[in-house]
Structure 1
């Protein structure tokens, strides 16, 4: 489980996060949603250590990540998988080499063991046999799946996904959502997804945290989100005429 307690973050006079407190449980798809400038990406960066909060704590299974120095954070960082918005694959490396990169960095496994692990996670994301391809030979959806495979190659306890459906067509987005949810449940990972995609919210939003102007404005499930009388949340949910038609 990951807990954030009274997280506050400012950049100069811009107070981006204003005391966010929330819990994110394992085996559940936890979504952070909100409009542009709501603070959702800043919150994610505070949680993984890319930003240092001005105040508050981030706890990984009761371990105070915020108070640790860089060296003390290494064991927790090794338990974190990241799926970046643009997949962030190395163009000069094959799919297999991309997957082996974190294993080379953080483990003492033999080369054969690393290759076996790469093949194992590729099979899990339905890309068996694609080891020797380069990113330029992959479709957008395949790149995302390779990104997911790399994120789970170290058997992480925590998985962070930043806009995983960005740039994908609706059908591929649905497949990526389903894959993330399956992996989360299968491995009991604490998964946190930053998104503005309402299809993802309604499809896999088991727990949803809605931020508005740097504050926690609402939290609940996708079963509850259409029944709320929270005006700001309703404005966000029903911003799309199609979504309004489907949900009203």
Structure 2
């Protein structure tokens, strides 16, 4: 489980996060949603340590991550997998080399052990045999799956995903959502997904945190979201649904 307590983040005079407290549970797809500028990605970066909160604490399985030194954070960092919005693959590396990259950094595994792990991860994301391709030879959906394969190569306890369906067609987006859901359930991962995609919210949103103007405005499940009387959440949900329906008609 991951817990954040009273997280504030200020950039100059701009207070982006205004006291966020929430829990993200193991074995569940925990989604952070909200409009542009609501603080979604900033909160994600505060949790993983890419941003230092101005105030507040982050706990991984009860351990106060915020109080640890850089060296003391390393054991937790090795348990974190992350898929960035643009997949962040190394263009000069093959698919296989991209997946093995974190294993080279954080493990003492032999070359054959790393290759076995890469092959397992590729098969798990339905890309068996694509080892020697380069990112430029992959579709958008394939890049996302390679990014997921790299994120799970270290067998993480925590998986962070930033806008996994950005730039993907609806069919591919569903496949990515299903893959994230399967991996979360199969390995009992604490998964945290930043998204504005309402299909993802309704499909895999077991636990949802809705941010509005830097504050936690609502928290619940995808089953509860359709019945909320929260005005700002309703505005966000139905505006998103309308836009998605309009796109599908074009």
Tell me the TM-score range normalised by the shorter chain.
Answer: over 0.9
Which residue in 1 is equivalent to 2:98? 98
- Out of 178-187 and 233-242, give the one that drifted further: 233-242
Question: Helix, strand or coil for the counterpart of 2:31?
Answer: strand
Give, in angstroms, the shift of residue 137 of structure 1: 1.1
Q: Which runs of 5+ in 2 are unaligned?
A: none
Give, in angstroms, the shift of residue 244 of structure 1: 8.2
* Counterpart-to-counterpart distance in 1, 2:135 and 2:11: 36
Does 1:195 pair with 2:188? no
* Counterpart-to-counterpart distance in 2, 1:212 and 1:122: 37
* Counterpart-to-counterpart distance in 2, 1:37 and 1:136: 31
Question: Helix, strand or coil for the counterpart of 2:67?
Answer: coil
* Counterpart-to-counterpart distance in 1, 2:132 and 2:219: 43
Which residue in 2 is equivalent to 1:75? 75
Question: Helix, strand or coil for the counterpart of 1:192?
Answer: strand
Question: Helix, strand or coil for the counterpart of 1:96?
Answer: helix
* Counterpart-to-counterpart distance in 1, 2:110 and 2:133: 22
Give, in angstroms, the shift of residue 78 of structure 1: 0.5
After superposition, residues 101-180 of structure 1 pair within 5 angstroms as 101-180=101-180
* Counterpart-to-counterpart distance in 2, 1:43 and 1:82: 14
* Length, aligned pairs only: 245
Which residue in 2 is equivalent to 1:14? 14
* Counterpart-to-counterpart distance in 2, 1:153 and 1:69: 25
Distance 1:238 1:122, change over 3 A: same
TM-score (norm 2): 0.96
Preserved CA contact (<8 Å) 1:238 1:244 = no
* Counterpart-to-counterpart distance in 2, 1:144 and 1:242: 23
Question: Helix, strand or coil for the counterpart of 1:159?
Answer: strand
Give, in angstroms, the shift of residue 136 of structure 1: 1.1
Give, in angstroms, the shift of residue 54 of structure 1: 1.2
Deviation string, structure 1 residues 136-187 (Cα, Å, up to 9, x no partner)? 1111111100000000000000000000000100000000000000000000
* Counterpart-to-counterpart distance in 1, 2:146 and 2:185: 19
Does 1:42 pair with 2:39? no
Distance 1:69 1:172, change over 3 A: same
Preserved CA contact (<8 Å) 1:237 1:243 = no
Preserved CA contact (<8 Å) 1:7 1:19 = yes
Which residue in 2 is equivalent to 1:231? 231
Which residue in 2 is equivalent to 1:32? 32
After superposition, residues 200-219 of structure 1 pair within 5 angstroms as 200-219=200-219
Which residue in 1 is equivalent to 2:66? 66
* Counterpart-to-counterpart distance in 1, 2:14 and 2:245: 33
The runs of at least 4 consecutive aligned structure 1 residues that moved more than 3 Å come to 242-245
Question: Helix, strand or coil for the counterpart of 2:216?
Answer: strand
